[in-house]
Amino acid sequence: MNNDELFAWACEQYARYGVDVGGALDKLDGVPLSIHCWQGDDVHGFEAPDVKLTGGIQATGNHPGRARNFGELTADLSFALSMIPGENKVNLHAMYLDNGGRDVARDSIEPSHFAAWADWAVEKGIGLDFNSTFFSHDKSEDGSLTHPDPAIREFWVEHAKRCRAIGKYFGERTGKLCVTNHWIHDGEKEVPMDSYAPRMRLMESLDRIFEAPIDPSLHKDAVESKLFGIGSEAYVPGSHEFYLGYVMRKPEVLLCMDAGHYHPTEAVSAKITAVLCFVKELLLHVSRPMRWDSDHVVLLDDETRQIMREVVRAGALDRVYISTDYFDASINRIAAWCAGSRNTKKALLAALLEPVELLRRIAAEGDAGGVMLLSQELLTMPLGVIWDRYCETRGVPGISEMTAKIAAYEKDELSKR
């Protein structure tokens, strides 16, 4: 069989179950994936040449070629994006500002410090998402939005307000919605005497941050929970329960659920539809926790596939924003970007190729065994053939060509850094 015949055969296999492959690919095109910039430089940012990561964040490994400035990072991102099919966005942290070599305090950042990013995104025809950066700073050693010192809290509240203004600017410049996410590392190594007061301070800080409304066609906010971190093993004020309650109280704010921010025995996939019953929209950070929130590169594993199944089966693609969030410094960083992003999209494609109505009908008839049999049969369907055609028609290389391109880029560019 040639490629056309192989693709036609694969479409026939799915059609047996009532699946329209062309329609699934069109839907896949309509779901932008927000790709995190921090994989390219190990979360260093551009504030200073040598940044010490704090807030429980670690990027392990020392593979050569880390991006050191805006030019290198955007070059690497552009190269990676050329190998990731479909609509994509790039997700930034506030620490990736263009400060011109000057010290710019985080409570003084402005849209002008991100104009170069906006110019680059407009040239690429992509959107930008944003994140406030509360970690890796001398004013965040003992917390940020929950800090007992009002002056410290004020600093971080102002930082977050300015991040929202930058997010709005990105929406205006790119013509695409910007989602600005807010995650704080605040927490305690031991069980605190008072777990209530920090949460009340966090709520008051958030209320002040979100005081001014922003056009939701340009910008939306999200808040991200975490179970624990390095140095905050016992207590985190910004827990899942806290933020779930907060967004139900303030429905214009999205809940961000990160695949690595829960107990190792919990799965985000099991929470998605429960939360969607009560909130308007969700932001998902797709990652791969290995025993803890270790931010491994996303694989086409059972949990990633189940995350996408839950979103698609709930008919919630228009209510869920999907981002990647991991950082691996032990392998070629562009390979990490491409593998994780492509695997995220493959998992979504697999979910879109599921005969959801057929499975629902079998389940409604009380035939649990039939659901199991068909679900398992679907795992060996020719997903790879459909994915290869998708990449080909979107001008993106297959695995062999992509591997060769990455190796050449490492030799020609990354090895010289």
pLDDT for position 229: 86
Q: With 80 as the cut, is the pLDDT of residue 56 above it?
A: no
pLDDT digits (tens, 9 = 90+) for 282-305: 999 999 999 888 899 999 999 999
pLDDT for position 54: 84
In 3-state terms, what secondary structure has residue 397? coil
Q: With 80 as the cut, is the pLDDT of residue 49 above it?
A: no
Contact (CB, 8 A) for 341 and 6: no
- Average of per-residue pLDDT values in the chain: 96
pLDDT digits (tens, 9 = 90+) for 375-417: 999 999 999 999 999 999 999 999 999 999 999 999 999 999 9
**CA torsion sign, 162 to 245 to 235 to 204?**
positive
pLDDT for position 55: 80
Q: With 90 as the cut, is the pLDDT of residue 188 above it?
A: yes
Q: With 90 as the cut, is the pLDDT of residue 51 above it?
A: no
pLDDT for position 160: 98
In 3-state terms, what secondary structure has residue 67? coil
Could you give the domains of the chain? 1-30+355-417 (no CATH), 31-352 (3.20.20.150)
* Residue 371 exposed, middle or buried by CB count within 10 Å (0-12, 13-18, 19+): middle
**Could you tell me if residue 69 is left (phi over 0), alpha (psi between -120 and 50 degrees) or otherwise beta?**
beta
Least confident of 56-60, 94-98, 346-350, 361-365: 56-60
Rg (CA), the chain: 22
Q: With 80 as the cut, is the pLDDT of residue 260 above it?
A: yes
The rounded percent of the chain whose pLDDT value lies above 70 is: 100
Q: With 80 as the cut, is the pLDDT of residue 29 above it?
A: yes
Confidence bin at 59 (pLDDT 50/70/90): confident
pLDDT for position 28: 98
Active site residues: 183, 224, 226, 258, 261, 285, 293, 295, 325
Least confident of 25-34, 55-64, 210-219: 55-64
Burial 40-69 (b: 16+ CB within 10 A, else e): bbbbbbbbeeebeeebbbebeeebebbbee
Contact (CB, 8 A) for 21 and 14: yes
**Residue 248 is inside which H or E element, if any?**
helix 240-249
pLDDT for position 209: 98
Which two tokens mark 80?
Answer: 């990676």
